[in-house]
Amino acid sequence: MSFSDWKVPAAFQPKPDEYEFDLDGVLGSVLYISSIVPETAFSAATLGTERAGSAVLIRDNGLVLTVGYLVNEADSVWLRTGEGKVVPADVIGIDHTSGFALVQALGKLDCPPLRLGDSDMIQIGDDVVMAGGGGRLRAVAAHVVARQQFAGYWEYLLEQAIFTSPSHPNWGGTALIGPEGDLVGLGSLQLEQQRGKGITENINMSIPINLLKPVIEDILATGQPNQPPRPWLGLYATDMDNKVVVMGVADRGPAKAANLQAGDVVLSVNGAPVVELAGFYKKLWALGPVGTKLQLGILRNGRTLEISVVSADRNRIAQNPKLH
């Protein structure tokens, strides 16, 4: 196990006198997290077998919040505090709808939990902090640049994602700390935003913390939210010129079994036209529970095809984590 020594450039680090809360005290709740995933795991091909990022202590009993992709199917998980203390941890469960994961520390962390805030109150222009494990040296003074829908290529959709700039260089699991010094989101991605003709900048996308509140007790009790899983096809797709284009398909997924291919254009779902990724997902999820048979209209090499696909539960494909 190794921990990175990267640092945020001094010009981008938050300054304590610019905030009305105890900045260093709040940053002490943010941890470094690393995990090892078996090579046989379903997610190993896309996410790798060695993963690292950040996590946040949210309860006195050692309950830690992070993003699911850092610990999905992990055999071993380790947490490190800003003071350098390292403890093992167990994965309690993952909510694939939001992207959050809960982890239980198996030793005393000796740091305070961070209070959950209200992500609905976060507005464009708010000054926030994107914090990785390691205090000010691994935190970015940022501001909110957008609140809007985000559709991810892996069959993922957030209605009110939080976008911030400047970007944190190691964004996975970073704590999005709001103006009141509480946790209002968790960093998930780095994206590019157009600033002008030929000019782009990197921004972070964070998952709003309010998505955790309705499901946290369910995950603690059973390892997953007490709600039906979203139907899953196992395809990777993107928006392109008002079309939804398949970039690839997941091994062991329904899309591969149905012979969907990279380059296919999705024209319709059960006859309803598809022109953008978010709309495609909403149509898919509205047609019925896991196991529903769908008819996809596909354009392939200039020919229109009808392909039948039976949706599945992605949770049944992933390997269960090992508990100590």
In terms of Cα–Cα distance, which of 251, 248, 260 is closest to 295? 260
Q: How many domains does the chain have?
A: 3
CATH number at residue 268: 2.30.42.10
Distance separating alpha carbons of residues 7 and 77, to the nearest angstrom: 23
Whether 2 is covered by a domain: the verdict is: no
CATH number at residue 65: 2.40.10.10
Range of the domain at 81: 26-113+215-222
Q: Write down the pLDDT at residue 217.
A: 97
Q: Do 125 and 86 have their domain in common?
A: no
SS3 120: helix
Name the stretches of the chain with pLDDT < 70: 1-5, 196, 318-324
Residue 96 makes CB contacts below 8 A (sequence gap 6+) with 68, 229, 230, 314, 315
Q: Write down the pLDDT at residue 90.
A: 96
Q: Do 57 and 130 have their domain in common?
A: no
Whether 194 is covered by a domain: the verdict is: yes
Element containing residue 68 per DSSP (H, E): helix 68-71
Whether 321 is covered by a domain: the verdict is: no
Distance separating alpha carbons of residues 297 and 266, to the nearest angstrom: 6
Q: Do 59 and 134 have their domain in common?
A: no
Tens of pLDDT along 133-169?
999 999 999 999 999 999 999 999 999 999 999 999 9
Distance separating alpha carbons of residues 94 and 314, to the nearest angstrom: 12
Whether 92 is covered by a domain: the verdict is: yes
Whether 6 is covered by a domain: the verdict is: no
Whether 20 is covered by a domain: the verdict is: no
What pTM was computed for the model? 0.93
The answer to whether 130 and 174 have CB atoms below 8 angstroms apart is yes
Whether 196 is covered by a domain: the verdict is: yes
The answer to whether 157 and 149 have CB atoms below 8 angstroms apart is yes
Whether 297 is covered by a domain: the verdict is: yes
